[in-house]
Structure 1
């Protein structure tokens, strides 16, 4: 899950802010509750992107950026979101020193997307609304890095964002379950994560990001492609098409939990096999 940004008037924040981290953690928790997902820990994600000096991390994540980040991390999907509207209201208030009795409500609109790292396809995109309301005693305490938010308004706003995350995660889990049934009849795709060759280059082993859960098995044949020109939608940056050059074929020798090892049997080009090259299992 890549940090959520906000373009809501009066509540604008970037994905490298503390407010973004709070919203991101809410989405991570929602996906874990929904079940069926292995979620990359946010702290590790931040550390890796910082180590790699990934400059785009401070801006909005589009499909082409998601593919780069996803391949760097070795994940299948990147989930990202953007808060587009925040409406916070409060009324009443009998003040007793720093305390006050009040009613408050928050309404948010969030766009949540999931992007397939291998293809750049947006596999889930929903605009969700979340609300929360409460009444009681509150104390106004500034929130660090919170754009002037008090603890009371931040609590209401992030409760509404949590509502959105829980809705989206539940729908996403159902969609991915149904999609898995359809995908089982489609070509199985992944990408190369490591290449090992003898000094002569006669024997080449490739490690790919398809493990036991993918259904790949020992003896399967795979094609290895190198990506050529990528055609992007100029408005959304969605990947519309890409050129693929077949450079080799290999046979799966070992299948592990999260990856498989294949031995290259045929080379169709002098182009070297590289990490992030695309692989397709021959059915």
Structure 2
């Protein structure tokens, strides 16, 4: 009994230490007296990888290729008139010639409307619902600078990027030279769909069947299925968007991904325009987090080893990124090697980027511009001054000791 209680107490203390973030990676740099001065040899073709400045990124307005966006709405006594359309779900108010959900002929079904109608133009501004969150993703990456919206507007006017969607390569290169931007994020809103989901018949059928059973567990399962079906009923708004990343130095698309998501705006069979707009924007927002990990590979913080110190067989390394790049204690860094590569058929020389098995772990010795690290895993013997490192999205796990 004593051993069990003692072990349980130790586990509790260890768990509390992990949850509180106690421990960390404390390092006494002065305890490492020996300096290592071996420098890495960098092929000329790989030198661009060592640019210290963070790339500047601009988020351009997205093209709206869907049939939803701008429209003309009829207000009748401060209420929206209902329009029924053969190619879309009824309820979105739009004139037959306006851009709405399906530009098709419409027939009025609201027989109670008054004769005094006021027509107004509306714009859902769907592109704005994408650019803001994408700018936040870029800023939170820590490894890129955002081209300001005011500067973006000036160059939009000059090069006419606004509402044009993905710019052509020549314009992208021109834009980069004019603004100093390295990457452009843009794309398109591809589709908006409305679907009313009604599971009531199926739910009622299951409930009737299970309610006749003498088994209480069966009745409970039937009731839960019925409740679940009822909760998922409602108007679904589904969106599809495409996000593309352009490298303006080359004018090439280096990344493209289609995102799809939907939201349930409630049991509203004929939603008005504003309700649909809210659903569309919510669906777009919920799809964007899927981009964070993939975009981070382009905007991850990069640096290189500036100092190496040793104590017997133990080696520590200083890297030239710190608090300014949101580095915290226990932050992990990947270490990279570079090799010049020649295509045997074309003779074209390129740079191969090789991620090594060695990871560095940030200690508490962090300044705004530098971080001292220890070797978390892998070989330390091959480390050299100037080797490229990249901040990961991981922190070293402290774990709970075994007894």
Name the TM tier (shorter chain): 0.3 to 0.5
Structure showing greater relative contact order (alpha-carbon pairs closer than 8 Å, 6 or more residues apart): 2
Which of the pair is proportionally richer in strand? 1
Question: TM-score with structure 1 length normalisation?
Answer: 0.47
